[in-house]
Amino acid sequence: MKNFVFLLFIFSFSASFSSTVESSENSEEFNVTDMIMHHIKDSHEFHILDWNGKGVSIPLPVILWTEQGLVTFLSSEFHHDDDAKEVVTIKGQSFVKFHEEIYYANSEPNSSGQYVLLGIDTHPTNSKPLDFSITKLVFSMFLSIILLLLIFGISARNYRKSEKGLPKGIAKFTEPLVLFIRDEVAIPNIGEKHYKKYMPYLLTLFFFIWINNLMGLIPFFPFSANLSGNIAFTAVLAAITFAITTLVGNKNYWKHIFWMPGVPVPMKLFLAPIEFMGIFIKPISLMIRLFANISAGHIIVLSLISLIFIAETVWIAPASLFFSVFISVIEILVVAIQAYIFTMLSALYIGAAMEEHEH
């Protein structure tokens, strides 16, 4: 019943939007790329909807380190359309927002009414303050951390209260997943001798990625954000795995990279550069795999919904919504699979660096 109501709402919204597009003679051409990139990229606010030509959004703190020190204000000071046509003056300094980047504003607008100077590639040449703002991705990450603490804090408390040591409440959900990571990921890849040391990291990795992926799929959730679809986020996770792998690598690991035993010398000279590049290719593949798969799912769903507005007819809505829901259902599986793959490969790389070899 809930799914039916959700589909009915989407269908009604699409129909009304399509009618508006058809009846508006002066409306601008619908730009699919701009719409999709607007939804998947980071921003300084949570945009909810547009009402009577005005954006309804939840503002977030803007924290800037400028030439005159720290400057803070809410993102609601900026207009929702970040076209650099609205100047915010704080402590005698003027700022504009252009494509979700904050720049120092010019004293006079250009021919397009923008308070920035655009270069040949339409990128502003204005200088920028250091931006430490709580963007929607940062806020979503903090929210997921709070959820993790609540979930496992309650699970631990339920275990302490259990007389027979049996899981109760939410612990019945978390225990099978913890045992799965232990028995199917940590022990097979790291080994029974060392796996316990890395279980906290692997569990944090799995649940952190999975929860953030799920939060990005919840429709109408005001704090939904495409966190795993941000390459900076996946790069940091991959860098942590890379650092652990590099630090725990034993002499056998480094010997197999720079001077592989049991191989003729000419072949050693050929393989050493390849193996050395593999040290960096592994975390890069981790970073790109998670980023690309999560971003692709969001882009496909938004592209299918956009077909209604591209065709400017409501008759394509049933097919568009059917395939959108179909992809969304697949995405529910994909977000869990991607969290598992990232965790499993991290355990594999760590285990390979610690493995003892006998020749």
Verify that 186 and 242 share a domain, yes or no: yes
Does 2 reside within a domain? no
From 134, 151, 171, the end of a domain falls on: 134
From 107, 134, 161, the end of a domain falls on: 134
Residue 350 domain boundaries: 137-354
Does 208 reside within a domain? yes
Tell me phi and psi for residue 63, to 5 degrees. Answer: -120, 115
pTM: 0.83
From 81, 109, 134, the end of a domain falls on: 134
- Please, which residues bridge with residue 183 across strands? none
Q: What are 165-218's pLDDT values in tens digits?
A: 677 788 888 999 999 999 999 999 998 888 999 999 999 999 999 999 988 887
Does 297 reside within a domain? yes
Verify that 315 and 277 share a domain, yes or no: yes
Verify that 216 and 314 share a domain, yes or no: yes
Does 233 reside within a domain? yes
Distance CA(232)–CA(135), nearest Å, equals: 13
List of the chain residues with pLDDT < 70: 1-30, 50, 53-54, 80-82, 163, 165, 219-222, 357-359
DSSP string, 130-146: EE----HHHHHHHHHHH
What per-residue confidence (pLDDT) applies to 70? 92
How far is CA 119 from each of CA 116, 123, 127, rounded to the nearest angstrom?
10, 5, 13
Does 287 reside within a domain? yes
Verify that 71 and 202 share a domain, yes or no: no
Tally of domains within the chain: 2
Verify that 129 and 153 share a domain, yes or no: no
Helix (H, G, I), strand (E, B) or coil at 61: strand
What is the DSSP pairing of strand 69-74 with strand 130-131? unpaired
Q: What are 35-55's pLDDT values in tens digits?
A: 777 777 888 888 777 677 667
Does 315 reside within a domain? yes
